[in-house]
Chain A
Amino acid sequence: MFDGIQRRVVSMWFPRLASDRALRAYPVAGPFALTLKQKNAERVHCLNAVAEALGLHRGMPFADARAFCPDLQSRPADPRGDARLLATLARWAGRYCPWVGLEGEDGLVLDITGAAHLMGGEAALMADLGARLERAGFAAWLGLADTRGAAWALAHSGGGIAAPGDQGRALAGLPVAALRLDDDTVTALQRLGLRRIGDLEAAARGPLARRFGAEVLARLDQAMGRLGEPVAPLPEPPHYGDRLSLPDPIGRVEDVMAGTARLLEALCARLLAREMGARRLCLTLRRVDRGSQQVELRLAAPLRDPARILPLFRRGVEAADAGFGIDQLRLEATQVEPLPARQLSTRAGGLQDGGRLDDLITRIGTRIGLENIQRFLPADSHIPERAFQIAPAAWSRPEGAWAPPRPRPLRLFPPEPLVGQGAEPPARFRWRRLSLSTARATGPERIAPEWWFEDEAWARGLRDYWRVETHQGRRLWLFHTPQVPGWFVQGEFA
């Protein structure tokens, strides 16, 4: 602990954080509950004020709650969303002091030592905090004291401010449950007649420690300030960005590239330290006339090698308009992905070739769009158009297992109608202004539509496919639709 510095700690408790969050998104009049499935039963996770006033309580089976209160409205709870909200609130609370930590699942703790005067004093700070949270729709109880334990006790018993050094008197009348003890210990203390914190202070410490262990006394000492308890602030999310301000404006492509190289060195060192790779980079060129130009680079694979990234920027930098000159460069990795260190391999076709191909994809992608460079992946379907998928190459890996059950055409096109009758391929037909005659027909191969998809192209039902070799040479893939008679060409073989 610091000697001579009076610490002041605010504890915030959100008694109905989850339901407040749900109701902020979709307000509901009347009793409302969030339900969570615990131990194979729907239980009440959180309630709004109206439902609490009706006598419902947390943890009760949802069926019972409905029986007590037939017009209870409910939604499923989202504990992860609540945790995200608490982290957001912690970031927001940074407007009062830099030292903000989480307190359990529904509370925050702020160390406002030396920061209260910025908001006009402690009372003004508390009033501002309360007013802003109320306006945002959150029920919050606030406690302010010298220690984290005392502030917690005040927040959980109705809120209040303990004057500096006065927590002993402020807490004396509060029940022992306000000391952050578990339920069994609280019950045991109450059986001994130690109902209030004041009673606990007055009791002899030796017998207490022998009976309850060190925990009770440690919590009491933390609340009274005899034992330190720090507030651990949340870690700052890592920032992958850097900037370079120049004393004189520059305009040549080489100069801008040299500046970018310096920024990339620093950025890639930071990425390396965290084993991350950049997937999307944004270079902002600020001009002397305050205009700015952005060069965005989307990479085909996560990357943190400056020598490989730098040449990829050249095309964008050449296209940028320097105007009267550029006096600030800013480079930021706007999207990063984990990129663990890998063992180098000397195997042929290993890492090095993959890297070259990825660089090529990136370079082409800056021109035609990264998602337009694709690869084929096999798909499990008999429908010719759905027997493969097209996936962007930058976000997929090649997969094997290409085993067509029967010969398939090299090219597919939307079905083109033919004049023909009967279930056998027509002996002579015209297709694309060619007059063709059938030399050999192999088939039929019947393919049924996938009824679980609504597909307009398959509205004619079953298809009997024939491979037709013509006297003129062309080898076509014809199909007949027996349900709605008709002949079509859908593909061409080698």
Chain B
Amino acid sequence: MPASLDKFFPLRPARVHEVCGPSATAFAALACARTAGPLLWIYESWPAERLNPLGLAAFFDPARLLVAECRDQTDCLATAEEALKDGAVALVLAEISRPLNLREGRRLQLAAKAGGATGLCLIPEGMGSNAAETRWRCAPVCDPVHDRGEGADSTRMRWEIIKNKSGTLGFWDVRWDPAARRLDVVSPPGE
């Protein structure tokens, strides 16, 4: 039995974390929901896949969100470092498209410590930096029981912590309740 999720999930403040997997966006949205104050989401301008604020509205108020559209990865990292160091936003989310080297990861980590803001990098699978505080892998899981009535959708996900600098690893099945704004840990489905 893994330890309680509460020890890990409101992400440790003033550190940079990483998340990968198909549900990384949902994980990031939940991290936003658990943070008070302004948020900054940094992405590159080229991908055709876009954030949908109407989808984010089920997790947190998009009025708190600022987005920065950068030309390339270098600008993304520089913007993230500037925002983390300043500390005016509570959570900085950066979409990463190439592997970070140790220096880049360490710079972000130092900036987060200096400014007191939390960072979360959305990385492609296997492209993390060794400097990250924790790394998560998130994937959606088919919910066999659909007990919340018609019209409600399941948001069941498997969260796996695959790297942790100051703690143990573990995995949890979670579900977001948009009406109650609550994150439920559910037991894994039986075999």
Contacts and interface: CB of A to CB of B under 8 A. Distances in A.
Given A356-B86, A493-B155, A403 B79 contact: no
A184 B154 CA distance: 85
A388 to B, nearest CB: 5
Contact of B151 (A373, A442, A491): A442
A494 B48 contact: no
Interface stretch (A29-37, A208-216, A278-286, A363-371): A363-371
Contacts of B45: 372
A393 B66 CA distance: 7
A407 interface: yes
A400 interface: yes
Interface residues of A, number: 50
Interface string B69-91: 11100010011001100101100
A138 B188 CA distance: 87
Interface string A346-380: 00000001001101110110011000111110100
Given A372-B68, A494-B29, A413 B50 contact: yes
Interface in B133-185: 139-143, 146, 150-151, 153-155, 157-158, 176, 178
A440 interface: yes
A364 B79 contact: yes
A372 B70 contact: yes
Interface in A262-308: none
A340 interface: no
Nearest to B175: A494
Q: Which of B38, B78, B158 has the most CB of A within 10 A?
A: B38
Indicate the size class of the contact surface on chain B: 35 or more
A471 B143 CA distance: 8
A492 to B, nearest CB: 8
Interface stretch (A46-54, A151-159, A234-242, A472-480): A472-480
A455 interface: no
B187 interface: no
A356 B58 contact: no
A28 interface: no
A372 B41 CA distance: 12
Interface string B18-56: 000011011001000000001000000100111111111
Contacts of B58: 404, 407-408, 494
Nearest to B58: A407
A380 to B, nearest CB: 12
Contact of B54 (A361, A363, A368, A388): A388
A408 B55 contact: yes
Contacts of A373: 66-69
Nearest to A349: B37
A132 interface: no
A244 B86 CA distance: 32
B64 interface: yes
Contacts of B146: 440
A368 B75 contact: yes
A467 interface: yes
B182 to A, nearest CB: 14
B73 to A, nearest CB: 12
A440 B140 CA distance: 14
A60 interface: no
B110 interface: no
B155 A363 contact: no
Given A356-B86, A375-B67, A467-B153, A409 B48 contact: no
B63 interface: yes
B49 A368 contact: no
Contact of A473 (B68, B83, B142): B142
B125 interface: no
Contacts of B68: 364, 368, 372-374
B88 A353 contact: yes
Nearest to B45: A372
Contacts of B176: 494
A230 interface: no
Nearest to B60: A402
Which 8 pairs of residues, A with B, have the shortest CB-CB distance?
A: A494-B26, A398-B63, A376-B53, A473-B140, A402-B57, A408-B54, A410-B55, A356-B88
15 contacts: A357-B89, A360-B88, A367-B79, A388-B54, A398-B64, A399-B63, A402-B53, A404-B55, A407-B153, A442-B150, A442-B151, A473-B158, A475-B140, A492-B22, A494-B26
Given A398-B64, A475-B155, 7 more contacts: A372-B70, A388-B52, A407-B58, A407-B178, A410-B55, A473-B140, A473-B142
Interface of A: 353, 356-357, 359-361, 363-364, 367-368, 372-376, 378, 384, 387-388, 390, 393, 398-400, 402-404, 407-414, 439-440, 442, 467, 469-475, 491-494
